[in-house]
Amino acid sequence: MTQTPDSGGDQETAYADMWFDPACPWAWITSRWLVEVEKVRPVRVRWHVMSLGVLNEGRDLPEEYRESIDRSWEAVRVCVAAERRFGPEVLGGLYTALGTRFHNNGEPRTADTIRAALADAGLPGDLAEAGTATEYDEALRASHAEAMKLVGEDVGTPVIQVADTAFFGPVLTPVPRGEDAGKLWDGVLLVAGTDGFFELKRTRTRAPVFD
């Protein structure tokens, strides 16, 4: 994590990196937490893609889940295409547009929904064509591999990096808001700065809540 002086005062701006697949509901909640953190702490998020499709290659999955994973390729390919054409700064807005439609609104993960999200993000609709092409798969796999290199192969999405330490998660629901989001960020910084800290985990007992 790189820190630079914050021109607005004595505090420094911290940069949090997050790797996401737009199809993952848990990553979506984590991302909205980070957006909340930006409002209450001197933090800026840098967005990167990873892929549920790549993550689950070669795994024996239930048929229904396999169909969902196969559908996940389209949106993340479009994210890579947008990043390659317009730069990484467009990823945050596009992810917000896709996630809002997929998760908050419950819209199907189809080309039409992706085109609508592109319009929401102020991006050209022809980027949706990347969803069924393989042109950007090499770049997608490279970004995914970057996340896996940081955290290891036995985790999923999301991955975040803070204070030069990367984690899977945090996995939580619902989205912490305001100072609650800031307090969780403070805790993440604390464990990230603890030498030898690896994980906290318990069984999930709630479905994702999108509010």
Residues 126-184: tens digit of each pLDDT: 999 999 999 999 999 999 999 999 998 888 899 999 988 999 999 999 999 999 999 99
| Average pLDDT rounded to a whole number, residues 199-210 | 85
- Looking at residue 28, the DSSP 8-state letter turns out to be H
pLDDT reading at 38 higher than 50: yes
Average pLDDT, the chain: 92
Of all residues in the chain, the percent with pLDDT exceeding 70 is: 95
Give the confidence band of 10 by pLDDT, cuts at 50, 70, 90: low
What pLDDT, on a 0 to 100 scale, did the predictor assign at position 200?
82
Give the confidence band of 5 by pLDDT, cuts at 50, 70, 90: very low
pLDDT reading at 83 higher than 90: yes
Q: Is the pTM of this model over 0.75?
A: yes
At residue 80, the 3 state secondary structure works out as helix
Q: Nearest CA to 113 among 99, 130, 93, 132?
A: 99
Fold of the CATH domain 14-193: Glutaredoxin (3.40.30)
pLDDT reading at 21 higher than 60: yes
